[in-house]
Structure formats: structure tokens, C-alpha cells
Amino acid sequence: MFKKSYLFIVLVLSLLLVFAACSNNSETNSESKPDADSDSTETSKEPVTYHLFNAGAAGKDLNTNETTLGKKFEEETGVNFRLEHLVGDLNQKIGVMVAGGNYPDVIVPDAGIDTLLDAGAFIPLNDLLEEHGQNILKAYEEYLPMFTSDDGNIYIIPFGATVNEFQPNPNIDQGAFWIQRGVLKEYGFPEIKTLDEYLDVITRYAAENPEIDGMKTIPFTGLTYDWRFFAFSNIPNHLAGYPNDGAVMVDMDTHEAKVYADSDYAKRWLETLNTLNAEGNLDQEMFVMNYDEYLAKLTSGRVLGFFDYGWQFGNATNALRDAGDPDKEYMALPVVFDESITDQYLEPPTFTGNRGVGITVSAKNPERIIQYWDNLIKEENQKLVFWGNEGEHYTVNEDGRYYQTDEQIALVENQQFREDFGMTTFEWSWPRINGSFSDGNAVEPRRQPEVALATYRDGDREYLDAYGISTFAELFSAPEERPWYPTWSANVEQGSPQHIFSERSEEIIKRHYARIVLADPANFEKEWEDFTTAYRALDVEGYEQFFTDVVKKRVNGEW
């Protein structure tokens, strides 16, 4: 939001910088100072340290020059960052900053973005990018309208512009119905497409194997804890053949957005769970266990099936893999309601324009920060961030394709190495690229088919061969083009009708979905009607219209 008071602040700061430059034509060395406080010229590489606060991800507080890559980038630009990550409540932390008008030099604001923008905390980057950020502008060229504010200014640089060719993940890190692989082997590796086929297999296996390793078998469970409840409430949308567009599904022809929480799809799914529960095939702790307890159940090897997003249970996946029994690991399946539905679990190319990193009004010589970012986003440096050093961390074959030997995989997957080298520091929360490099190799090793193939063990290959596929993602349909995707990235301001609807509807859904699923089947219809009455008391039509407008604008190239 453009504010006159904000322009005044920027003008005053600009004049102060001019006066400071006139009175001191040499840059002060700030190595001994915690934050940037020196006057710089365009070509200066005098050491300077900026304070970067990251509200969007947990991490280790450090100076970037304590890592191998950070030291290299400092030598190239003279810039170092003192990283601070969020501890405690985000709103409280941001509120203190705004109240005092004193900010770190750089902020990754995450959910605090609207508060900081409204407070005029970020400076416009347009002129700085034109003068010092040509590599950034080139990488983000087609996305610039998506994160340019209504006043014509760019305040935030999002993460992950897709350049060259989009590279899907050979493995599933997004939503899917997961099944313990040994269940598939037991029944001759059946092809499973529909929900009925999926549930038939796991309930039959549970009946034949009531215990696994001395523990009671859990046919089906789910994740419902805290903010992760979306992993449960999103399921009807996926079963109906839609990707994760948030709380709405978008018609491919009319581009109208409709909520699905009280749709026939949701009712069908909840009634299925209600039946599973009545039959004793549903985890009785599904609505009360926390996240750690959920992961512990998956790791135990007694859960046969569940729905979740792959990135949410990576620790359980790794634990099962380390245990050395490939039949206890889970395989992703593109389950839908009916054969006529094409699954859309694989995400189309996405770009989230309302999350990123910005430079605040407290930063002196902000051109030094832009110069650093512009250097970071160069292709040769992005290769270092994601792949490391050629010959040491990856190998290039005669066709120019990147791959990793077993020894290299073991090295780059070592957490201590990743931290020391700087991969964990620089792989996210900075201006960066997605997609592929100019030589055709994937930016991220996990999206390089040669790397995925090299990580597969004999146990993996047994299942891949049984289904006639080379990667696990090949079971899933290709994503259809959705130029608006994802709608959940739309800028919903705190306190707006859409924000209020989201909060109230989430409360209603959480409360009623559990009652519906756990009810006596004879009371299912009553519980469903109680829910729909409470849900429709909200401004559903206003919420749908907001996102319909968002979709149609994006289809027309307006962001």
C-alpha cells in the first residue's frame, strides 16, 4: 500500500545519504560493526555486514561468511550477512519493530509481510534493480508484474523464478495417498486408481494382519494437528482431480472459484471415513495426536495408509529407509474418486509472489545488498549453491548431464557438510532460480532424473520394475496448465473479509469434520447438516468472488 508518509521517509533518508556522501567520500570499514552503517560506492568491496532477519524458516543464526560459499561471496562483493531466525511469536516480533520504527537491514517477512508493507518498512527496489540488479531482472523478467505493487513499486523479491525449462520432481514431495509398499507386494502389485480400490487393499491386509511387529495394525490415519490440518481438509479436492489451490477449486473453463469444504466431494469423503471408523479401520487418535506422535506412528511401520504431502513427513521417510526394510516404506498413489477423473497431484509450474525478501528503510547503502543478490543469482553461483563443486560433489557425463556417485550422494546429503559449505544457508530465502540451467541440467539435484535414479536401492527398483516405471512420479498424470496457480498465493490482507472468512471457516471445519467422521453412522446426515448450516452462515459467496476475480485477473496477465 502506497503511503505519503512513506515517501516522505524515503525522501528524508535519501537526502541524509547525499549529505553523508558529500561529507565523507571514503567508505568506513564496518567489519567490527554488527550492521551496515557505511557509505559505499557502486564498485566498493569494502567489508560490510548487514543484519538479515528471517521470519519464514527455522535455521541456525550465523554470519554467512562462516560458510564456504558465504566466504566466497564476501570476497566477490565485500558483503556479509548476520542471519537471525524467528524465535517466538511472529506478530509480536514484527509489532515491536513497527512500533519502534527500527528494523533489521533485510527481512524475510513471511506472514508479517502486510504489516511491514503497511508500516512503510521496505524501500522500493525498482531503481536499485535497474542500476545494480540486471541478473535479477533477467531471471525474474516474466514474473515482474506478479510482484509489482499497485503503486508501481517492487518491495519484495520472491523466491524461485523458473528459468528455461520447468523440471518436475521425479519423486513425490507433494500430496498423495500413501500405502505401505509391502501391502502392494502381498497382492501382486495391483494397479490402484480409485479410492475404493485403495481402501479395499489396506482393509483386507489389516484383516489378515491385525498386528505388525507385535503392535496393532492401523489401516488408515491422517494429519490433523494445528496449522497442518490442511493435509486433511484438502483431500476431497485432490480426490476430485484438482491440485492444491487452497480452499477453492477452480473451473478450468469458466475460471470460477468455488469452495469445496461443504461440497458433495467433501461429503463423500467424510462419509467414507465415517464408515471406516465404524468398521474399526480408522486410527482412533487421528484427531487428537500431535505432529510428533503422527510421525512416530508412520515410523513404527504399523500404518498401512494415509494422505499427506511428502515434504511433511520426510523425517519418518528417512527413519524407515535407515531401518533397512524397503517393504515398510511408503509409496505414493494418485488416488481419485472414480476412473473417469484425471489425477492432478503433480503441481504445475508455480510462482508465489507475496512471499520473499525485502530491504528495509534502516539499511544504509542498499545498493550493496542488491549487488550481492545479483552476484548470488548468477548461474555459476547457483550451481555452487545447489550442486557444489564439479568433480567433488557431482560429476558430468559425456553428454553434459550432471549426476552424483554414491560417494558424492553420501557427502552432499550429510547435514554437517551442507551447513559448513553453505547449502542450507543459501538454498532458500534468497533471490534464486528454479527450473533448469542454460545447459539443460536441473537447478535442484532432486529434480534431476539421473540423481533420482542413482539414489534408488534394490528395494526401490523392485517396485519400480513391478509397475514398469523408472521414477515414482511416473504413476501420476502430467499437470495441466493453470496460469493462476496457486490461488492461495493471493494477497489476503489481515482483517479483510477474506482473512476473517478463512479463520472462522477453519475453526468450523476443524470442529465439525471430527464430529462427522466419528459419529454413529445413523447420525451422519444430522452432523453433516449441522456443519453446512454453520459454514454457510459465513460469507461464502464473497470469498468465492474474491478468488474468482484473482483467477480471472491472473489469466489476463494481471497480478
Neighbouring C-beta atoms of residue 84, cutoff 10 Å: 17
**What span, in angstroms and rounded, lies between the C-alpha atoms of 423 and 402?**
17
pLDDT tens string for the chain (559 positions)?
333 333 333 333 343 333 334 434 333 333 334 444 434 345 578 999 999 999 987 789 999 999 999 999 999 999 999 999 999 888 899 999 999 999 999 999 998 998 999 999 999 999 999 999 999 999 999 899 889 998 999 999 999 888 988 888 899 999 999 999 999 999 999 999 999 999 999 999 999 999 999 999 999 999 999 999 999 999 999 999 999 999 999 999 999 999 999 999 999 999 999 999 999 999 999 999 999 999 999 999 999 999 999 999 988 998 999 899 999 999 999 999 999 999 999 988 778 777 899 999 999 999 999 999 999 999 999 999 999 999 999 999 999 999 999 999 999 989 899 999 999 999 999 999 999 999 999 999 999 999 998 889 999 999 999 999 999 999 999 999 998 999 988 888 878 999 999 999 999 999 999 999 999 999 999 999 999 999 999 999 999 999 999 999 999 877 7
**Burial per residue of 418-450, b for 16 or more beta-carbon CB atoms within 10 angstroms, e otherwise:** bbebbbbbbeebbbbbbbbbeeebbbbbebbbb
C-alpha triplet 351, 503, 517: angle, nearest 5°: 100
Beta strands 175-180 and 303-309: pairing type? antiparallel
**What span, in angstroms and rounded, lies between the C-alpha atoms of 365 and 412?**
36
Tens of pLDDT, residues 72-105:
999 999 999 999 999 988 889 999 999 999 999 9
**What span, in angstroms and rounded, lies between the C-alpha atoms of 106 and 36?**
11
- Residue 393 buriedness (CB in 10 A; 0-12 / 13-18 / 19+): buried
Q: Which helix (H) or strand (E) holds 295?
A: helix 291-300
- Quote the pLDDT of residue 36: 44
Q: Which of 67, 72, 100 is nearest to 83 (CA)?
A: 67
Helices and strands: H and E segment counts in the chain: 23, 17
Write the CB contacts of 414 (distance below 8 Å, at least 6 apart in sequence).
none
- Quote the pLDDT of residue 277: 98
- Quote the pLDDT of residue 43: 59
Q: Which of 443, 439, 441 is nearest to 427 (CA)?
A: 443
Here the contacts of 37-41 (C-beta below 8 Å, separation 24 or greater) are: 37/364, 38/364, 38/365, 39/364, 39/365, 40/365, 40/367, 40/368
C-alpha triplet 364, 367, 372: angle, nearest 5°: 110
Give me the helices (H) in 89-125, please.
Answer: 90-100, 113-118
Give me the helices (H) in 174-248, please.
Answer: 181-186, 195-208, 230-233, 235-239
C-alpha cell at 513: 469434520
C-alpha cell at 59: 535455521
C-alpha cell at 269: 469423503
Question: Which CA distances in Å does 504 have to 53, 190, 291?
Answer: 31, 42, 23
Sheet arrangement for strand 356-359: 79-85, 48-54, 106-108, 356-359, 157-158
The answer to whether 103 and 360 are in contact (CB under 8 A) is yes
- Residue 471 buriedness (CB in 10 A; 0-12 / 13-18 / 19+): middle
SS3 403: strand
